[in-house]
Structure 1
Amino acid sequence: MKSLHILLAGAVACLAGPASAETLLERGTYLANGPAACGNCHTPITPDGRPIQGQELAGRLIEDNPAFTAYAGNITPDEETGIGSWTDEQIITAIREGKRPDGSIIGPPMPIGLYRGISDTDAKALVAYLRSIPPVRNEVPESTYRIPLPPSYGPPVGNVPDVAEGVTVEYGGYLAGPIAHCLECHTPMGDKGHPDFENQLGAGGFQFHGPWGTSVSSNLTPHEDGIAEYTDEEMVAMITTGTRPDGTPMYPPMGYGYYANMKPGDVQAIVKYLRTLPPKPDPQ
């Protein structure tokens, strides 16, 4: 996990307060509906993959594979089937430490290892947003794991400072890691069933199954098999539209509809960060 630790350390190296006078709710609304794309996993979808109106963040089946059958929980403020009875601190602990109020561990594909790097301000902002949305009653089944879950994802998360907003490698790393968790989906699995951040950071090759069929995450490193051939402008367009320069469509679960809501500078910062990754060939 050394590379992941370097990623998170680099992301918090440039410290400052929020770049604007945003309220926590405004910041949380932007994050949840933009780079964090919470609804991409937690909002129920139609058979053709479109979000169901009126069911925002009410939970759904997210992945069924040999390792697990995982359901994304109902994270609306419904007190019986959602998180309405949880305290703010309990919600933040669930997001950053993968532990529910009853002590149970949240399993994959929730990227807890990356979410541990979410700043205190942004964690509170996400809570403010989750408190603001309509409660939806939706009983979501428990996930089933056929792989062992860790007893924890590490020691309790202490203070995580803000990262200065800007078109910088540091802020791009923060967005691509703890917030948008790009590296969770775009890093191949290692021998222990976890993304191989140490050796294959961002190299792609992870398979996803859904109504669209099977999609494979792309190589995000500046390798000839990755993003080397694309200009920054082409990268921004692919992230926010889901369309390659030649006009061919890209497929879910990449949350293009959410990323279209991102501030232009934030997308540019992510691209700037990706250019700094060690070039890796596509995994065979």
Structure 2
Amino acid sequence: MAADQLRGQYLVEALAACDNCHTPRGPNGYDLSARFSGGSQTFTGKDYIARGSNITPDKETGVGGWSDDAVSAAIVAGVGDDGQLAPAMPSDSYRVLTDADRNAITAFLRAQSPVKAQPMAPPQRQGKWSPHPAPGAEAAFDEAALSEKVKRGLYVASIARCLACHSTEVDDAPDYVNGLGAGGKIFRTPAGVAVASNITPHPEKGVGAWSDDEIKRAITHGVSRKGEALKPPMSNLAKAHFAKMSPEDLDALVAYLRTVPAKE
């Protein structure tokens, strides 16, 4: 596999976790025989209902007929072939992608086997949505930024959607002004209801008293400080995706989280 495709594979599998929304699930997890052909989960917000679409190179039901620019626009700007994508597509979190990384993701997706899937019902969308990128992650990073540990950590946190999932919400959107990293977002999964935890450095409410290794274990193994299994979706994401995170990115992510203002 070419170097850019390998980088794209890492970004897709270890950080962005694209399978989570775009690959159907079977009894044993992802159905990799139909990888990226469209997800099983339905995402519902106040103004939309949507499912992860077919992002294989199939020309009829996937993105095989899209230009590279069109694929990039879907990833980082949330624009599809029929207009604005629903907010379930976390394009705001992907705005930080460097040009090289954005192209690497496209190259990796182009190299996948095309899968002809049953056309999905058109997503129901009403109105337009304002973008909500995390502070400091409003625009594409350049390669030089990735050499700075804390900035690299922000880069990783944005792509992995740590902040979008672990910040408080107002009207279905993360409240980064008042609740950056403070937790509170509710997830309803087949396994039950889970509430995103506080990942700020608060010594009692957050992870301020956790060691770096304890934070890393939670991220990559889905295990709490006390050794208890975290609830889905974090446990699933940790084992299927974040466990593949490189030591350098994991170190940077923890370093960045230490800089987030502590919140109760």
TM-score (norm 1): 0.81
Paired residue for 1:270, among 242, 245, 253?
253
* Shift in CA distance, 66/169, structure 1 to aligned 2, threshold 3 Å: closer
For 2:95, the equivalent position in structure 1 comes to 116
CA distance in 2, matches of 1:160, 1:29: 19
Residue identity matched to 2:157: A
For 1:16, the equivalent position in structure 2 comes to none
* Shift in CA distance, 245/162, structure 1 to aligned 2, threshold 3 Å: same
User: What RMSD over aligned residues (CA atoms) do the two structures have, in Å?
Assistant: 2.3
CA distance in 2, matches of 1:28, 1:73: 19
For residue 37 of structure 1, report the CA deviation from its aligned partner. Answer: 1.1
The answer to whether residue 52 in structure 2 is matched with residue 69 in structure 1 is no
The answer to whether residue 181 in structure 2 is matched with residue 198 in structure 1 is no
CA distance in 1, matches of 2:24, 2:218: 24
CA distance in 2, matches of 1:92, 1:75: 12
* Shift in CA distance, 92/217, structure 1 to aligned 2, threshold 3 Å: same
For residue 26 of structure 1, report the CA deviation from its aligned partner. Answer: 1.4
Paired residue for 1:228, among 198, 204, 208?
208
Paired residue for 1:175, among 139, 151, 156?
156
For residue 36 of structure 1, report the CA deviation from its aligned partner. Answer: 1.4
Contact residue 166 and residue 266 of structure 1 kept, 8 A: no
5+ long unaligned stretches in structure 1: 1-21
Contact residue 235 and residue 271 of structure 1 kept, 8 A: yes
CA distance in 1, matches of 2:246, 2:43: 33
For residue 243 of structure 1, report the CA deviation from its aligned partner. Answer: 1.4
TM-score (norm 2): 0.87
The answer to whether residue 223 in structure 2 is matched with residue 240 in structure 1 is no
Contact residue 187 and residue 203 of structure 1 kept, 8 A: yes
Aligned length: 252
CA distance in 2, matches of 1:202, 1:134: 37
- Normalized per residue, which structure has more helix? 2
For residue 160 of structure 1, report the CA deviation from its aligned partner. Answer: 4.7
Paired residue for 1:130, among 101, 109, 117?
109
For residues 69-119 of structure 1, what are the alpha-carbon distances to aligned partners after superposition, in whole Å with 9 as ceiling and x for unaligned? 2201111111111111101010001111111134x1011222222222211
**Which structure 2 residues correspond to residues 1-284 of structure 1 after superposition, within 5 A?**
23-46=3-26, 50-65=29-44, 67=46, 68-102=48-82, 104-138=83-117, 139-145=119-125, 148-150=127-129, 153=131, 160-165=141-146, 168-177=149-158, 179-190=159-170, 192-223=171-202, 224-254=204-234, 255-256=237-238, 257-281=240-264
Range with greater deviation from structure 2 (77-86 or 39-48): 39-48
SS at structure 1 position matched to 2:51: strand
SS at structure 2 position matched to 1:70: strand
CA distance in 1, matches of 2:147, 2:45: 41
* Shift in CA distance, 62/148, structure 1 to aligned 2, threshold 3 Å: farther
For 2:135, the equivalent position in structure 1 comes to none
For residue 158 of structure 1, report the CA deviation from its aligned partner. Answer: 8.3
- Normalized per residue, which structure has more strand? 2
For residue 208 of structure 1, report the CA deviation from its aligned partner. Answer: 1.3
CA distance in 2, matches of 1:280, 1:118: 28
CA distance in 2, matches of 1:164, 1:143: 37
CA distance in 1, matches of 2:14, 2:52: 18
Contact residue 175 and residue 270 of structure 1 kept, 8 A: yes
For residue 186 of structure 1, report the CA deviation from its aligned partner. Answer: 1.2
Runs of 4+ with deviation above 6 angstroms: none
Higher RCO structure, 1 or 2 (CA under 8 Å, sep 6+): 1
For residue 25 of structure 1, report the CA deviation from its aligned partner. Answer: 0.9
CA distance in 2, matches of 1:45, 1:277: 35
CA distance in 2, matches of 1:196, 1:63: 23
CA distance in 2, matches of 1:193, 1:148: 14
